[in-house]
């Protein structure tokens, strides 16, 4: 085995252990996810955060699957990012920022 094969497997094992650590810590309650979908100071549910989270996970998963599909082909570089993924990611961030701006500038009745 060449050095790049060892590095490739080592990186994949390290990433899998990191994901496993985050999942275990989340299930044990050490990482609280209850406040990740709420506004910072008032605790109201923030749908813009939920859509940003789902769009980000979806975009990263799509790109990761594209990269893993190239492992057996002998490719020497990362795959190109599709324009639709960039558009989805940019639009999702725009929705998040718009929601954050409108909530921050909302005046009580």
Q: Are 96 and 104 in contact (CB under 8 A)?
A: no
Distance, CA of 38 to CA of 45 (rounded, Å) = 4
Q: What is the pLDDT of residues 53-107, one digit of tens each?
A: 999 999 989 988 888 888 778 888 888 998 999 999 999 999 999 988 887 776 5
pLDDT band at 20 (very low <50, low <70, confident <90, very high): very high
Query: Where are the chain's structural domains?
Result: 1-31, 38-109
Rg from Cα positions in the chain: 19
């Amino acid at each position: 085995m060449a050095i790049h094969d060892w590095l490739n497997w080592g990186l994949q094992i390290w990433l899998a252990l990191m994901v496993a650590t985050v999942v275990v810590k989340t299930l044990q309650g050490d990482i609280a996810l209850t406040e990740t979908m709420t506004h910072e100071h008032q605790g109201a549910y923030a749908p813009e955060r939920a859509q940003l989270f789902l769009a980000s996970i979806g975009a990263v998963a799509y790109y990761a699957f594209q990269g893993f599909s190239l492992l057996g082909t002998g490719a020497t570089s990362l795959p190109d990012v599709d324009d639709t993924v960039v558009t989805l990611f940019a639009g999702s961030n725009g929705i998040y920022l718009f929601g954050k701006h409108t909530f921050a500038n909302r005046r009580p009745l």
